[in-house]
Amino acid sequence: MKRFIFLSIFASLLIFTTSCLNGEGNYQTYAGVTGSIYTYQGVKYMIADSIFQMSKRFYSSDFQSMKDSDRVVAWFKIDYDHQPNSNYYTLTELQSITFPLQKVREIQNNEADTIYSDDPIVDVNNPLLSRQGNGIYLTINSLYKASNSNFQPVLIYNQAQQSIGDTLKLDYRLDKNGDTGSTTNYNYTSFDLTKILKTMSPSVIRIKYNISSISYTYVFSNPFK
């Protein structure tokens, strides 16, 4: 069974807003904003992914220990009445984690069904396809069962699965290497699709994953087209 989900890529941003209520001021609290770290004039900032429509840089002292191009998911508050600089937003009440940026992995024939036959994924939360600078990143937040959170998902390109047409087919998989743990773990990972989208130039990107041997599919349009 396949579930085809045509996403609005704005759906995963949760915004809770309080404006000038009971003298509390004008602020917004944001949850689950993804982006990348970069350095400007010796200071590190977070730039939100394009799906969030946030054009300014985000500043926090927490970002200063991170590396350029680190991928970040953040929960924070912006107090619009008390911003020390108009060129960027200073964040308060920040909680953030960094997560990997991976390349698409190419395999041959039907190895995905063999290597990743015991897929422990139990849920996938709305994948986000977004721009970051000149790149296109697919960010996926998933849950899986294993003894720990050290297992890394992969995004697979298999030439044997590509059919004639204008669709790029990719598989999101995770191999727990024989681990028999049953603890539910979460994972954020971004995959850099820039090169494969420019090379193949598909109109549609199909992301497939399995839960309990049932296939589910997310479908995106190519942002380069």
- Tell me the three state secondary structure of residue 160: helix
Question: Strand (E) positions, the chain?
Answer: 4-6, 14-19, 26-40, 43-48, 57-59, 71-79, 88-90, 92-99, 101-103, 105-107, 121-132, 135-146, 154-158, 167-173, 183-192, 204-211, 214-221
The size of the chain, in residues, is 225
Token pair, residue 113, equals 């069904």
pLDDT for position 90: 97
Look at domain 100-221 and name its CATH class: mainly beta
Domain(s) of CATH 2.60.40.3220: residues in the chain: 100-221
What pTM value is reported for the model?
0.85
Rounded Cα distance, 168 and 157, in Å: 9
CA-angle at 156, arms to 150 and 159, nearest 5°: 160
Amino acid 51: pLDDT: 86
For the domain with range 14-98, which CATH number is right: 3.30.1490, 2.40.50, 3.40.50, 3.20.20? 2.40.50
Structure confidence at residue 167 (pLDDT): 94
Domain with CATH 2.40.50 in the chain: 14-98
Tens digit of pLDDT at every position of the chain (225 positions):
333 332 333 334 444 444 444 556 788 999 999 999 999 999 999 999 988 888 899 999 999 999 999 999 999 999 999 999 999 999 999 999 999 999 999 887 666 566 665 567 889 988 999 999 899 999 999 999 899 888 899 999 988 888 878 999 999 988 877 788 899 999 999 999 999 999 999 999 999 998 877 889 999 999 988
